[in-house]
Structure 1
Amino acid sequence: MSTGLIILLIVIAAVVVLGAAALSLGRARRGGPSLKRRFGPEYERTVALHGGDTKAAERELTERVERHGDLRERPLDRDDKERYAARWTAVQERFVDSPREAVAEADQLIAELAVVRGYPDAGRYDEQFAALSVHHADHVDGYRQVHLVARAGADGGGSAAGAGTEEMRTALIGARALFDDLTGPGADTGRHRSASGAAGPTAAAGTRSHARSHAPWALHRSRPKES
């Protein structure tokens, strides 16, 4: 091999290495702002959970995107939306007399709904939460809070086990925001729409039922008993 060819190969290898380093640096610089835009308040919460270590938090969030960014949510038909809306209404009504049980039911309901929409199995909460955070970052913290309260109540230990009614109410309201996302307009297959595209009677009834189930009930209910 000639000296000239060896030098050429060395130059090419150096260019490749430098190009890869520049690309990696560019990604690192863009990672912070990009992750902040994508995750919003979940970005700050993740940094806080890592004790303020921004790099560790960004590594975790980047891994979430790599694992779940390509997930495509499965749609809900109108019947499913009405069924889940009715179950959420029942949870809200149960909260009046049995807030702790209602919170546990809400936790289970969201976990089940997430699976129906195509998210990881409810038995793997951490993985399911990570996937939800990628696609519903603005509202996923409500699920975190309601899950923590529900788990603490089930285990009978930890500070959250003594959660008061208002804390449970706040958790449930936050969880409802994610429930709204998972059952909102984007979740609908439109199976009951007419050929012209207008919603038929069944769809309209479902819309009214859905609206009733998401009324600001917590602002108007009498203070529930502590369970």
Structure 2
Amino acid sequence: MTTVVIIVAVVLVAALAFFLVRGRQTGGRGLQRRFGPEYERTVARHEGDTKAAEHELAERVKLHGSLSEQPLAPGARETYVRRWAEVQEKFIDSPRDAVVEADALLAQLAHDRGFPDGGSFEEQTAALSVHHAEQVDGYRKVHTAVRGQGGTEEMRQALIESRALFDVLLADAPDEPARTDRHETKGSATA
């Protein structure tokens, strides 16, 4: 009888250990799936320390996960589409000014959709990363380009990559692509 009790106890301890280890892995894998490239960027920023990166990402989810994106005011969508087209046209003659305007436009659009104010870029991108992890890096690149880092080609690439966040924020729902005009113009930074 005592042998059976010992076997049952060992099996229960082994099962508990299995589920505890699996639970930790699922949290990491869950964060990795949710954040995609943002997960890798955060791990790299923490010099490979996955626990620190996962703690940071879990905190972002805690702070911003319940954020509900607000609908845009009537007519705002068309205004944003027009302003983005102007940014793209301006890039041909004045790349730096176009990138500055794109940065401000993305900050305002994110704010209008209910994300934290663009006055705190880090807080705004943290919130955006919880909801739009696949697209937020383009916004970071535009913001970096505004600070004078990189040449014309880097600014052009940043503007192109930031268009993904613009489109997803402009969409009626996160999974619905925005209906914006996407013409390619030779020499321009259109996306």
TM-score (norm 2): 0.82
How far does the alpha carbon of each residue in 1:93-150 deviate from its partner, in whole angstroms, 9 at most, with x for none?
0000000110011000000111100000111111110000000011000011101111
The code of the aligned residue for 2:56 comes to E
For 1:132 and 1:222, how far apart are their aligned partners in 2? 30
Aligned residue for 1:69?
65
Which consecutive residues of structure 1, in runs of 5 or more, have no partner in the other structure?
1-20, 154-159, 188-206
Out of 194, 208, 211, the position equivalent to 2:180 is 211
For 2:172 and 2:113, how far apart are their aligned partners in 1? 13
For residues 12-91 of structure 1, the aligned pairs below 5 Å read: 27-91=23-87
* Offset, 1:164: 1.4
Who wins on radius of gyration, i.e. which is larger? 1
Q: 1:61 to 1:120 in 2, by over 3 A?
A: same
Out of 124, 128, 131, the position equivalent to 1:128 is 124
Aligned residue for 1:222?
187
For 1:42 and 1:110, how far apart are their aligned partners in 2? 18
Q: 1:62 to 1:24 in 2, by over 3 A?
A: farther
Kept in 1, the 8 Å contact 2:65–2:130? The answer is yes
Aligned length: 170
For 1:172 and 1:102, how far apart are their aligned partners in 2? 9
Q: 1:223 to 1:114 in 2, by over 3 A?
A: closer
Percent of aligned positions that are identical: 55
Which consecutive residues of structure 2, in runs of 5 or more, have no partner in the other structure?
1-16
For 2:135 and 2:169, how far apart are their aligned partners in 1? 10
Q: Which has the higher contact order (CA 8 A, sep 6+)?
A: 1
The code of the aligned residue for 1:180 comes to D
- Runs of at least 4 residues off by over 3 Å: 21-27
Greater displacement, 45-54 / 129-138: 45-54
The code of the aligned residue for 1:124 comes to S
* Offset, 1:223: 6.4
Out of 122, 135, 139, the position equivalent to 1:139 is 135
For 1:52 and 1:117, how far apart are their aligned partners in 2? 33
